[in-house]
Amino acid sequence: MATILQPTDENLLQMSKFLLSGGLVGIPTETVYGLAANALDPEASKKIFEVKNRPSNDPLICHVASQEEVDQICFPTDLARKLCDAFWPGPLTVILRKKSVVPEIVTAGLDSVAIRCSSHPVMRSLTRLCEFPIAAPSANPFAYISPTRAEHVETSLGNKIEYIIDGGPCEFGLESTIIDAREESSPRILRYGALSPEEIEDELGMEAQRPAKTASDNIPQIAPGILPKHYSPNSKLEVVSKILDLEKIATEDEDTAYLLLQKPRFETERNVFWLSESGRLQDIAANLFDVLRKMDTIGFSRIVAEEAKELGLGVAINDRLRRAAQD
């Protein structure tokens, strides 16, 4: 079992020292919980791959506190500066050309590095206390559902790490949006996430290239870790545009669970779950991984999930559902 720490000044200082000495810590961000290590320490970063059972060709995101730290590890473009000015601290990750100080293991041998500045107050404090960037992928076993609460990290990785900092439930509940900002005139979204494509395009005043529509069409060389199958429960998951006749089908087959976007108006069976009271996309996103984990713990043979409207945050919600449904 890991020790779950409250984010007091004293505990954060202790964790910054633990990270400096090569340790791994479960940390809260506004998107999902991360598994943190000193990004400039190759041995510590290597442990992240071991603990997550993550393939070594899947690079890590570096979390920074300041512009100085950005300049320390990469070559920012004007496009990146514009995006970061607008959306940092917040759920945006930019890909930029890396400097040699970043160990190869962190970037999986690529000459680019993924960088983000989290808006979670605990992560803000921790990155400021650490005089090095923090490498942190989501704190889930490779390909499983991402964690949005400290107890999710404990359940999945608690037997492999010593400390988890509890920063409460994550505000967004979906990972950051990743954008390749190396080419000034062609921003390219590599992963949909908590920041919608529309928000990015409005800010830039130009269109951003988007990832392929179906999960399996992604080009692995560009974003090595963005695999078709991801975020997956153990139960088999199926995504449908609308669940019809729910009252009837839910009682007929109790081994199948149904995941709705919005709370239904009628009394439901134990195999019916929902992601929001009112259908608000922010609530749906914030609850998605938590509810999927709950359903998976019960162990239904099949989960049928309803997709969101393909607009705003709905794009990232559907992306996660489709990947979770991949064989």
Nearest to 173, CA basis, from 196, 142, 149: 149
| Cα-Cα-Cα-Cα dihedral sign, residues 237, 194, 297, 258 | negative
Give CA–CA dist 245/21, Å, rounded: 57
The phi and psi torsions of 248 (rounded to 5 degrees) equal -75, -55
Interface with ligand TXA, residue 317, by CB under 6 A: no
Nearer to ligand TXA, 174 or 250 (CB): 174
Is residue 29 at the binding interface for Mg ion, with CB under 5 A as the rule?
Answer: no
Q: Is 29 in the site for ligand TXA (CB under 6 A)?
A: yes
Residue pair 94/83 in contact by the 8 Å Cβ criterion: yes
Omega of the bond leading into 197 within 30 degrees of 0 (cis) = no
Binding footprint of Mg ion, residue count (CB under 5 A): 1
Element (H, E) at 101: none
Which SS3 state, helix, strand or coil, does residue 13 take?
helix
In this structure, what token pair is assigned to residue 40?
A: 């400039």
Q: DSSP string of 181-215? A: -SSTT--EEEE--SS-HHHHHHHHTS--B---SSG
> Residue 233's binding partner, choosing from ligand TXA, Mg ion, none, with beta-carbon cut-off 5 to 8 A by kind?
none
**Contact positions with ligand TXA (CB under 6 A) in 249-278:** none
Please report whether residue 176 would count as binding ligand TXA according to CB under 6 A.
yes
Q: Nearest to ligand TXA by Cβ — which residue?
A: 225
**List 31, 38, 148, 276, residue binding ligand TXA (CB under 6 A):** 31
Q: Could you tell me which stretch among 14-22, 54-62, 244-252, 291-299 binds ligand TXA (CB under 6 A)?
A: 54-62
User: Residue 141 contacts by C-beta under 8 Å, 6 or more apart in sequence?
Assistant: 52, 53, 156, 157
- Comparing CB distances to ligand TXA, the nearer of 74 and 325 is 74
Q: The tokens 């920041």 sit on which residue?
A: 195
> Which range, of 13-21, 223-231, 232-240, 244-252, touches ligand TXA by CB under 6 A?
223-231
Contact stretch for ligand TXA (CB under 6 A) within 65-73, 134-142, 253-261, 313-321: 134-142
Window 135-154: contact mask with Mg ion (x via CB under 5 A): ---x----------------
Contact residue for ligand TXA among 44, 74, 164, 223 (CB under 6 A): 223
Does 196 interact with ligand TXA (rule: CB under 6 A)? no
Of 16 and 29, CB closest to Mg ion: 29
Residue environment code for 231-270, b if the CB has 16+ CB neighbours within 10 A, otherwise e: bbbebebebeeebeebeeebeeeeebbbbbbeeeeeebee
Q: Note whether 190 binds ligand TXA by CB under 6 A.
A: yes
From 89, 158, 225, 233, residue interacting with ligand TXA (rule: CB under 6 A): 225
- Compute CA distances 46 → 146, 197, 308, whole Å: 20, 33, 37
Q: How far is the CB of 194 from ligand TXA (least distance, A)?
A: 7
Residue 114 partner contact from Mg ion, ligand TXA, none using kind-dependent CB cut-offs of 5 to 8 Å = ligand TXA
Smallest distance, Mg ion to C-beta of residue 223, A: 12
Closest CA to 136 of 221, 286, 28, 229: 28
Closest CA to 39 of 4, 69, 83: 69
**Smallest separation (angstroms) from ligand TXA to the CB of 253:** 34
Q: Which does 16 bind (CB under 5 to 8 A by kind): Mg ion, ligand TXA, none?
A: none
Which residues in this chain contact ligand TXA in the complex, by CB under 6 A?
A: 29, 31-32, 34, 58-61, 93, 95, 107, 110, 112-114, 116, 136-138, 175-176, 178, 190, 223-226
Which residues in this chain contact Mg ion in the complex, by CB under 5 A?
A: 138
